[in-house]
Chain A
Amino acid sequence: MENELRDRLNRLDRRVGLFLNAGIILGLVLLLAGLALFVAKSMPQSAPLTPLVQLPAGLAGLDAAAFVTCGLMVILLMPLVVLITSFVHFIMTRERLPLIVCIILLLMLAASYVLLLK
């Protein structure tokens, strides 16, 4: 493999690794805060996930379910961060085929969620 290509891939690997670590730590902190609030406030076990529009109010009101929902969403969106970081990287390095794959994946995910919300 050419040195330049290898350096580019190494840079991408480092960036993706960094984002993943930061996201996991943030997600875990939010989950822990939510769990602590569940125990401290003796909240009902059956409380559902907080709808996204109500998240800011829930977080401000120290609602356990809102903290857990937020932590869960941060962790669930981490793979998407990998995809977006790769997408930006392949645009900058002008690698056509991996870029096309990233675009297909982004479109596919967007279509899945649009179908889901219907």
Chain B
Amino acid sequence: MPADINIWALAGTGFAAGLVGSMLGVGGGILIVPILTLLLGVPMQYAVGSSLASIVINACTATGVYIRSHMTNLKLGLLLSCTLIPGAVIGAWLAARLSSPILSGIFGLLLIYVAYTLIPHKLKRFTAEELERQKDPHEEEHASHAWLDGEYFDPAVDQQISYGVHRPGTGLTTGFFAGVISSMLGVGGGIINVPVMNLVMKVPAKAAIATSAMLLAFTTMTGALIYAYNGYIIPYVIAPLMISVFLGSRTGATLSQRLRSNTLMAIFAAFLVLTAVMMILRAFKVI
């Protein structure tokens, strides 16, 4: 660990991560890890551990809000956690055995993927007819997992939305890999979970995002506890980070209603590509 880390630099990092993460719906980890490693000189494993712990508070806050508005599909979240948690354990185990340059390289590649997903083209909006057709009780394939079906009130359309959950097996499989990546690199698995739940499992976007926050809480909790046990979480680093991530995400949630998200996403995607290049160059010891 570097001998002297400025507490305000840590607080600023956490606040920026919480703010941007909340405004763009991405985990703060994709900002925390590069800033801690590239700017503050924190070794990769310490940065990942701190990032995971910071995401827990963000995910728990979001889960609390979503659950009270009944958007989280609790049963689906619990089911998918059955593969996410072993994935998170394996991810943390792998991270402890891989060198910092290799982790930096993998992280750089992941950032490029996240930048791609920020291009607005991804989540599908289902019409009321499509949702109803998906829930058809005569559909034999769906009947076996009808207990996962959910509903919530969407104030945007002033309507109660009911939906069926499809292909839980695919969700369980991808959940495992989301757990590995999340725990290994200190990022939220939402970048994988949300598109899979929405596009493959036919869960409406709002419910997918809400359920993903709960999944994120489980994955990052498991990963963070393992990093803490291995000594990769330092109290002096984690305290200002967690507090400022919390404050940043609260501010971001308010600001996001006033700003144009497309412009913000384009700027952030460009920033991510630049950071990715730096992380990959670092992996090859060029910088």
Say yes or no: A31 contacts B63, CB within 8 Å.
no
Cα distance A104–B74 when bound, in Å? 15
Which residue from chain A places its CB closest to the CB of B235 in the assembled complex? A68
Given contacts A13-B72, A75-B60, contact A6 B85 (CB under 8 A): no
B60 touches A20 (CB 8 A): yes
- In the assembled complex, the CB of A105 is this many whole angstroms from the nearest CB of chain B, namely 6
> A residues within 8 A CB of B242?
27-28, 31, 71-72, 75
Whether the Cβ atoms of B236 and A72 lie closer than 8 Å is: no
Binary contact readout B203-231 vs A (1 if CB under 8 angstroms, 0 otherwise): 00000000000100110011011101101
Q: A45-B5, A98-B147, A105-B82 are in contact. Are A68 and B57 (CB under 8 A)?
A: no
Q: For residue B222, give the distance in angstroms from its CB to the closest CB of chain A.
A: 7
Interface range, A side: 35 or more
* CB pairs A–B below 8 angstroms (6 shown): A23-B60, A28-B246, A45-B234, A45-B237, A72-B53, A105-B81
Task: Give, as a whole number of angstroms, the nearest-CB distance from A102 to chain B.
Answer: 6
| Nearest 8 CB-CB pairings of A with B | A68-B235, A20-B64, A17-B68, A35-B239, A79-B217, A45-B236, A65-B235, A79-B221
Given A1-B151, A79-B56, A101-B82, the answer on whether A72 and B228 have CB atoms closer than 8 Å is yes
Main SS of chain B's interface residues? helix
Bound complex: CA A44 to CA B190 (Å): 36
Whole-angstrom distance between the Cβ of A74 and the nearest chain B Cβ: 10
Within 8 A of B (CB), among A71-118: 71-72, 75-80, 82-83, 86, 95, 97-98, 101-102, 104-105, 108-109, 112-113, 115-117
Asked whether A97 lies within 8 Å of B56 as measured between CB atoms, the reply is: no
